[in-house]
Amino acid sequence: MTPEIDLVPEVSSLSEIYLTSDHAPRYRKLFERFKEAYGEYPDFVSRSPGRVNLIGEHIDYCYFSVLPMAIEADIVILVSKNDSRKINLLNGDSKFEQESFALPDDGAFVSIDPTVTTWANYFKCGHLVAHQYLSESRPRSKLPVGMDVLVDGTVPAAAGLSSSAAFICAAALATLRANGITSVSKEQLTTLAIVSERHLGVFSGGMDQSASVFGKRDHALYVQFQPQLECTPFKFPDTEPQLAFLIANSLVTANKHETAPINYNLRVVEVSIAAEILAHKCSVSIPQDSGIGTGTLRGFMEAYYKEYEGALPWDGEVLEGTIRLERMAKLVRTVFVQTDGYTTAEAAEELGITVDQLHDRFLSKTPVRFEKLQLYSRALHVYEEALRVLQYLTLLLHPPVDSVSLFHDLGQLMNKSHDSLRGLYNSSCKELDEICEIARSSGSYGSRVTGAGFGGCSVHLVTSQKVQDVKNALIEQYYRVRFPGISDAALEDALVISKPGIGSLVYTGGMP
Ligand code: GLA
């Protein structure tokens, strides 16, 4: 029997997409705007949601599993084909200017200049990977068609809720559809989108795209990257009172792209060097399959176990994974004795290579700036965070009978995750730390930064009874203090109870 392929759905009613609020007025406005600009209503709408990550931060690019969920906020793209060789882009938000780019006549892929800051780059990323897919799957296919496009987003930008992945997934889906691909598997779309942000110079992992594409209403996702991409939806246990996740935006802008050399990409480089040093010290060879073409901490763990324990690669079994990860954390403590960091000369020496070789292998793929490479703390965070994901999953799948114990245990893991991101990974900021403190002391069981961090959003585990207390405390002690005069509308946007929503899809229901 051939396994059933999970396809990106096509829906014709907005109620299949949105549960908590009526989006008909939004769509009607967008349809009218589209008609005004392009002379007709769009052929279809492609949309992809943002996500919130519950736990498992900064470990996806090391291929460790994560636990995000798609949210209802999304990017929608209204599309019609046109007869020109151009993609015309309008944005529902007037602060983004109208853009347009030509499609090369020789069938080449669109070029993207990551040094130019323009919102059109995100569309181009999606277009490029979709075009690559079209050329591979239909080698003699025609040139990609011109498109008239209107983009509208409710995922706040640069806030850690994955607006860029949502945009790129929706753009890739829109391009495929406009070029006649009406059926694409979720796995395919995710795989295409995962590599796309690298064209903008960010070496992100695959969590955001997986959550955006595979999102399922009322379900969180257990996303595994190895041995292959697998997204398993699961429901939260029924509890009394009900549990809820509150997202609080620090309103500190966190631009992953602009700060990549000192933040995001630097972390990717540090964990890669750490993985290679571990492999070198333990005399194992590891696959060179990271985003920057080096080994990964997951790859090292597999190789280590194969070599020394005679065990098969970890198949995702929770207990076995837990034991292995604990062992890895111990190994990190033994191998990396310089807990305050390594100079390039010291890191090269640990690897038994020259500084030039270190530059070639690790520091030339993407520009990074640092005083010392933090190898100990980054590697320790990764193994311990991967362990917390397994512990969190175990609690959700086999919850203690008593709901309060469940909230407490889940909350503790989230708090520890935040502490590690703050202390070991340095990816929090004082505003997020403050938000987490306030939330915890007003009723949140667990509070942590979510997404890449360095600003952006936090997520809080609260019961339905405590939501209002936590919100009130944050409004009084954080928002009104730091942003005097903040409007009620801005507060409403900054504090959101997030329900897990459906993933990427094509809407063909026309004007609602
Ligand atoms: C960003 C990246 C993801 C992931 C998170 C941190 O959202 O796009 O791949 O690494 O940061 O967990």
DSSP state letters, 286-340? ----STTSS--HHHHHHHHHHHHT-PPPP-S-HHHHHHHHHHHHHHHHHH---TT
Tell me how far the alpha carbon of residue 124 lies from the centroid of ligand 1, in angstroms.
Answer: 20
Q: Does residue 60 have its Cβ closer than 6 Å to ligand 1?
A: yes
Tell me how far the alpha carbon of residue 206 lies from the centroid of ligand 1, in angstroms.
Answer: 8
For residue 26, how far is the Cα from the chain centroid? 26
Is 83 known to be catalytic? no
What sign has the CA pseudo-torsion 380, 386, 391, 396? positive
For ligand 1, atom 9: residue with the closest CA: 205
Tens of pLDDT along the chain (512 residues) come to: 556 789 999 999 999 999 878 999 999 999 999 999 999 999 999 999 999 999 999 999 999 999 999 999 999 999 999 999 999 999 998 889 999 999 999 999 999 998 888 999 999 999 999 999 999 987 777 899 999 999 999 998 888 999 999 999 999 999 999 999 999 999 999 999 998 988 888 999 999 999 999 999 999 999 999 999 999 999 999 999 999 999 999 999 988 788 999 999 999 999 999 999 999 999 999 999 999 999 999 999 999 988 886 554 455 566 668 889 999 999 999 999 999 999 999 999 999 999 999 999 999 999 999 999 999 999 999 999 999 999 999 999 999 999 999 999 999 999 999 999 999 999 999 999 999 999 999 999 999 999 999 999 999 999 999 999 999 999 999 999 999 999 999 999 999 998 899 999 999 999 99
- Distance in angstroms (rounded) separating the CA atoms of residues 274 and 375: 5
Q: Does residue 205 have its Cβ closer than 6 Å to ligand 1?
A: yes
Q: Cβ(508)–Cβ(10) under 8 Å?
A: yes
pLDDT of residue 114: 87
Q: Does residue 452 have its Cβ closer than 6 Å to ligand 1?
A: yes
Whole-Å CA distances, 470 to 56, 379, 436, 490: 24, 33, 10, 17
Region of 443 (left: φ > 0; alpha: ψ -120 to 50; beta: rest) is: left
Which residues have CB under 8 Å from 73's CB, separation 6+?
Answer: 49, 50, 153, 154, 155, 156, 161, 496
Nearest to 166 by CA among 505, 417, 481: 505
The 3-state DSSP class for residue 132 equals helix
Residue 128 tokens, joined: 């490029």
- Number of C-beta neighbours around residue 21 at 10 A: 10
Nearest to 439 by CA among 406, 463, 420, 413: 463
- Distance in angstroms (rounded) separating the CA atoms of residues 403 and 99: 52
pLDDT of residue 508: 98
pLDDT of residue 313: 46
For ligand 1, atom 10: residue with the closest CA: 58
Sheet holding 457-463, edge to edge: 446-449, 457-463, 243-249, 495-497
Tell me how far the alpha carbon of residue 57 lies from the centroid of ligand 1, in angstroms.
Answer: 7
Strand 146-153, strand 86-91: pairing:
parallel
Strand 505-507, strand 10-11: pairing:
parallel
Q: Does residue 451 have its Cβ closer than 6 Å to ligand 1?
A: yes
pLDDT of residue 334: 97
pLDDT of residue 2: 53
* Cβ burial 211-237 (10 Å sphere, 16+ → b, else e): bbbbbbbebbbbbbbbeebbbebbebe
Q: Which of 57, 207, 264, 426, when mutated, tests ligand 1's pocket best, judged by the most ligand atoms within 8 Å of its CB?
A: 207
Tell me how far the alpha carbon of residue 451 lies from the centroid of ligand 1, in angstroms.
Answer: 5
Strand 230-235, strand 146-153: pairing:
unpaired
- Distance in angstroms (rounded) separating the CA atoms of residues 470 and 349: 50
Q: 3-class secondary structure for 393-417?
A: HHHHHCCCCCHHHHHHHHHHHHHHH
What sign has the CA pseudo-torsion 132, 133, 139, 144? negative
- What is this structure's pTM? 0.96
Which position among 74, 148, 152, 208 bears the catalytic label? 208
Rg for the chain, CA atoms, rounded: 23
- Distance in angstroms (rounded) separating the CA atoms of residues 32 and 1: 47
Whole-Å CA distances, 32 to 40, 258, 467, 487: 9, 35, 38, 29
Ligand 1 atom closest to 56 (CA): 12
